[in-house]
Chain A
Amino acid sequence: MPGARKRALGTPALGSGLALGYLSIIVLVPLAAVAAKAADGGWHHFWQVAWNPESRAALELTFELAGGVVAINAVTGTALAWTLVRDEFPGKRFVNTLIDLPFALPTIVAGLTLLALYGPTGGIGVDVAYTRWGVLMALLFVTLPFVVRTVQPVLIELDRDMEEAAASLGAGRFTVFRRIVFPHLLPALLSGVTLAFARAIGEFGAVILIAGNLPFKTEVASLYVFEHINSDDPTGASALAMLMLVISFGLLLAVGALRRWATRHDR
């Protein structure tokens, strides 16, 4: 009985009051402050500072890169999780630990490392510094663990009997993956790419060194905000922040709906 359990832990009103209070202090009030800042000069002014050619370029680049990060991570993250769960190879434990490294490393160090190897002085003939490819690599580096770590446990728990049953019914390996395995991974995969997406649109530390911050070329939203704060334009910074907030929230809602659809059989 869910009702009984709720009562045992205190009244529902107390619990939701605490949750909402905490959420307000940590998230809602600061966001409201940003919104207030952005709206300083009224709606018309907000729109003017938020939607200019430079901010638009930054927003477009940010979401393009985040989209690329999602697409690449969905494939490589699933493949990595698959290898770690289903295959046996020497050094598997080491690789498994390696996956978490981007989480453990300060992101500025990640940027530094990438610049050292793939920068002008890298010495391997690849120079992606101050290019969009460099930014993409930095983002892929910091978002690597998300899909792997959300898909891996689901793959471990997945009932192998189901795959054998499908095989005995005539399904080849690809059909088994497409019809049986993938639908079970989808909810976790959606969580993973959502986290990766959120990280990619907000990433600052790993990007700042390798991007070189060239407006219209490598300036992503976070760098735009940073630059405008630096050049004493907090309203412009807040306005773009507000815009990103609205777009991201909309995307999160859409992913939530997709997840509910993907887990419809569990209810």
Chain B
Amino acid sequence: MAIEARNVTKRFGDFLALDDVSISVESGSLTGLLGPSGSGKSTLLRVIAGLETPDTGEVFISGKEATAVAPQKRGVGFVFQHYAPFTHMTVWDNIAFGLSIRRRPKEEIHARVTELLELVQLNGLGKRYPSQLSGGQRQRMALARALAAEPELLLLDEPFGALDARVRKELREWLLRLHDEMHVTTIFVTHDQEEALEVADNVVVMNAGRVEQVAPPRELYDHPANPFVMSFVGPVNRLGEAWVRPHDIEITHEPNGVAQEAQVERIVRLGFEVRVDLVRDDGERLHVQLTRNEAEVLELAPSDIVYVRTRVERTFSENGEPTRPAPSSVS
């Protein structure tokens, strides 16, 4: 089911949540809406679901104008940030809800709920109430509930936000597999750039109610459209006019003409990754990412004097457009 939003604007009192936003989502794709809190990503998702009515602009579902269509008539599965379980119903009844209100035959409901419990690995927990589930189980129940009536569009609002890191990672992989199997058009909201880059095949970066860039993860990372995207999708160093990623800085012990002197301030070892904080002689701080092997070869220690050189740096013109990236020394 293809989705299109055209020139959507939404205000809440004085707050401009969506400012003339247009996006289009291909049928069968997995799209991430990425942005800081207050950027309008959740509001856009709710407009698509029909839970909010835009002040101006239109929403098209499968090419049909659907701006004023009630949420219950959109054929959309929505997973809420805090799962919104029906606390007075068992897990089974939660999942069956969308089917039972459609008055589907009992045998069909039974078969479908059994299948979904299997799919979300909640077999045997159908008789429990949501308050007796863990956060990850509640999340999976919410997903099963949204999927029960076979929606053509699945919308997820910060689906993994409230879970601990390990469960989150598991669920991410699980969502990816699920999408591969079911091919339901999926849009999810996240403020976590890593999550967006890992899961989505297309990412919409939003900021202050506007769309900053729409691109596949790799292009987003390699060719950010403006300084906001550059700094939001990954860590950066700001060096005068130039922006440099921490892994695009090279550290050597020997000065070789184009490198600049700096002192090691702190070294953090995170398994495969090693983070080095440096202070240049002009007082500017640099964050550098090395692999463990690189760090071992360099044998760095705090207060060592080293030489740094950037491999790739990016500059943006005054109106935010990228100018040609070029390898150069730290200026």
Contact = CB atoms under 8 A, between A and B. Distances in A.
A117 B251 CA distance: 93
Given A169-B97, A169-B149, A170-B149, A164 B88 contact: no
B278 to A, nearest CB: 47
Contacts of A161: 80, 82, 84
B87 interface: yes
Interface in B57-80: 70-74, 76-78, 80
A251 interface: no
Nearest to B51: A164
B76 A166 contact: no
A202 to B, nearest CB: 33
A181 to B, nearest CB: 10
B84 A167 contact: no
A170 B72 CA distance: 4
Output the residue of A167, A180, A183 with the most chain B CB within 10 A. A167
Interface in B160-184: none
Contacts of B80: 161, 164-165
A266 interface: yes
Contacts of A169: 72, 77, 97-98, 101, 145-146, 148-149
A175 B98 CA distance: 11
Interface of B: 49-51, 70-74, 76-78, 80, 82, 84-90, 97-98, 101-102, 129, 131, 142, 145-146, 148-149
A7 interface: no
A162 interface: yes
B260 to A, nearest CB: 53
A192 B82 CA distance: 30
16 contacts: A161-B84, A162-B86, A164-B84, A165-B145, A166-B86, A166-B97, A167-B71, A168-B72, A168-B74, A169-B77, A169-B146, A169-B149, A172-B72, A179-B101, A184-B87, A265-B89
Instruction: Name, among B72, B82, B85, B142, the residue most crowded by chain A CB atoms within 10 Å (CB to CB).
Output: B72
Given A161-B82, A179-B101, A266-B131, A167 B87 contact: no
A171 interface: yes
Given A161-B84, A162-B84, A167 B131 contact: no
B227 to A, nearest CB: 36
Given A183-B88, A184-B88, A168 B51 contact: yes
A267 to B, nearest CB: 9
Contacts of A166: 86, 97
Contacts of A180: 86
B183 to A, nearest CB: 20
A172 B131 CA distance: 26
Given A162-B87, A179-B97, A167 B82 contact: no
A87 interface: no
A162 B85 CA distance: 7
Instruction: Please classify the interface of chain B as helix (H, G, I), strand (E, B), loop, or mixed, using the class held by over half of its residues.
Output: loop
A159 interface: yes
A119 B71 CA distance: 52
A266 B130 CA distance: 10
Of A162, A165, A266, most B-chain CB atoms within 10 Å: A165
Interface in A146-186: 159, 161-162, 164-172, 175, 179-180, 183-184
A168 B131 contact: no
Contacts of A184: 87-88
A164 B80 CA distance: 9
The 9 closest A-B pairs by CB, nearest first: A161-B84, A169-B98, A168-B78, A165-B84, A265-B129, A183-B88, A167-B71, A170-B72, A265-B88
B78 A165 contact: yes
Given A168-B51, A169-B72, A265 B87 contact: yes
A167 to B, nearest CB: 5
A213 B50 CA distance: 59
B70 A167 contact: yes
B189 to A, nearest CB: 14
B88 A168 contact: no
Contacts of B86: 162, 165-166, 180
Contacts of B102: 170
Given A164-B78, A166-B86, A168-B78, 6 more contacts: A165-B78, A167-B51, A168-B50, A169-B145, A169-B148, A179-B97
A184 B50 CA distance: 25
A164 B71 contact: yes
B140 to A, nearest CB: 15
A170 B84 contact: no
Nearest to B148: A169
